[in-house]
Homo-oligomer: A and B are copies of this chain.
Amino acid sequence: MEQKIPYKIYLSEEELPKQWYNVRADMKIKPAPLLNPATNQPVTLEELSQIFCTELAKQELDNDNAYITIPEEIQNFYKMYRPAPLVRAYFLEKALGTPAKIYYKFEGNNTSGSHKLNSSIAQAYYAKKQGLKGVTTETGAGQWGTALAMACSYFDLDCKVFMVKCSYEQKPFRREVMRTYGANVTPSPSETTEVGRKILEEFPGTSGSLGCAISEAVECAVTNEGYRYVLGSVLSQVLLHQSIIGLETMTACDKYGIQPDIIIGCAGGGSNLGGLISPFMGRKLRGEADYQFIAVEPASCPSLTRGKYVYDFCDTGKVCPLSKMYTLGSGFIPSPNHAGGLRYHGMSSVLSELYDEGLMEARSVEQTAVFEAATKFARIEGTLPAPESSHAIRVAIDEALKCKETGEEKTILFGLTGTGYFDMVAYQKFNDNLMSDYIPTDEELAKGFANLPNV
């Protein structure tokens, strides 16, 4: 007999995961190794330790250990804002008139407004433990930058954030939150780095891009004694830290006998999706259970659904290791019309491999449909979702409506990665009927592919 499922499931502190789960350990085909861009050879721990903290570099290269103990100080910090609730979307189910059961894991109950804090605190911890002075990073919308600022403030580390210039100007409040947590925020491209000056010279007046901000942050880390670079998505170490999302979700599901049929997550670089699905994917890989996984990306930045699975640069300045991933080319920048985040040109190498093997599906959705779902969700479930998260909401609603047609009582689980409180410019556009859709043509995508490296 099915138990009565509470509206929100909060695990107790004792039930919180004490280890992260590394899905790579259960993958039969491992993600392709990162390559040194100078030699095209697999990057070594030593080389990677120039960019990342040593412990994080180890995690990045670790394809073998399935479980990695979460250091106690990180577990303590997690208690500040975790457990994140697993919510039964009773109100949404009723409003849709669907026989499907809908659940979402809500990661927005913290000041970064998203799941990003799960990895930033881990990365700051290892930096502190290594005796570093500080870390550098890039941020677009600002969720990652905020999360890192919070983590650095906690460990008393210096935090240098390169913020994509258009976001820096359009999102002064995000910038101010970072400053409140003591971070140093620079609009990118800037005059403070060589790569920034080069880009400014080549493209005067550019409003910046994530790839460009990454290059500046990496240069800043490697040229400043006692600094390392940290990144909020794409990397395998980030997926490892974010597995806390999936582990909590799985514990809650097991506790209440919830068996998801479909698991849906939005995908930019893959941090949330990878974190949410990892432990479930582990079960699938080990043959213990089966799930339908769906990655949802914007039609205007369709790396999985229209990209190529090849080695590519992770950044515009081409200073980072090469990664084999689904990519649109490191020069690809989504149309300025695109308001919904998830604008990175590539995808986590772990997720890329899983997708390539057919273990996960991908769908692309247009932004007006995404904001329509977002507004519906806000009004019915109360929480104003981040545009990024709303990609997953869109597909969850679509799947629930399919169940309404077929009468199937599927259990749908999706990741609600965060809140949209700092995205009201985009919502305003939608409220004023000024939002439109843009799907890049094959010719436009071909331009991005033209600059792929020869590996």
Residues in A lying within 8 Å of B, measured CB to CB: 6-8, 10, 12-13, 79-81, 91, 109-111, 113, 150, 153-154, 172-173, 176-177, 179-182, 375, 378-384, 419, 421-422, 424-425, 427-428, 431
Contact = CB atoms under 8 A, between A and B. Distances in A.
Given A176-B424, A182-B379, A379-B181, A111 B384 contact: yes
Nearest to A88: B79
B428 A176 contact: yes
Given A180-B375, A375-B180, A431-B179, A80 B424 contact: no
Contacts of A8: 79
A22 B355 CA distance: 58
B80 A177 contact: no
B111 A378 contact: yes
Contact of A91 (B80, B109, B378, B421): B80
Nearest to A110: B382
A79 B13 CA distance: 21
A117 to B, nearest CB: 8
A95 to B, nearest CB: 10
Contacts of A113: 421
B176 A383 contact: no
A244 to B, nearest CB: 16
Contacts of A422: 173, 421
B111 A7 contact: no
Q: Which 9 A-B residue pairs are closest in the complex by CB-CB distance? A: A173-B424, A7-B79, A176-B424, A153-B379, A111-B384, A80-B382, A176-B428, A421-B421, A10-B10
A12 B7 CA distance: 10
A384 B180 contact: yes
12 contacts: A6-B79, A80-B381, A81-B382, A110-B382, A111-B421, A172-B428, A176-B427, A177-B421, A179-B431, A180-B378, A180-B384, A181-B379
Contacts of A12: 6
A180 B177 CA distance: 23
B382 A111 contact: yes
Nearest to A79: B7
A97 to B, nearest CB: 16
A28 B62 CA distance: 69
A103 to B, nearest CB: 14
Contacts of A179: 428, 431
Q: Which of A6, A8, A180 has the largest count of B CB atoms less than 10 A from its CB?
A: A180
Q: Which of A8, A79, A382, A383 has the largest count of B CB atoms less than 10 A from its CB?
A: A382
A378 B421 contact: no
A81 B382 CA distance: 8
A154 to B, nearest CB: 7
A378 B6 contact: no
Given A176-B424, A422-B421, A424-B172, A378 B181 contact: yes
A417 to B, nearest CB: 15
Contact of A6 (B7, B13, B110, B382): B13
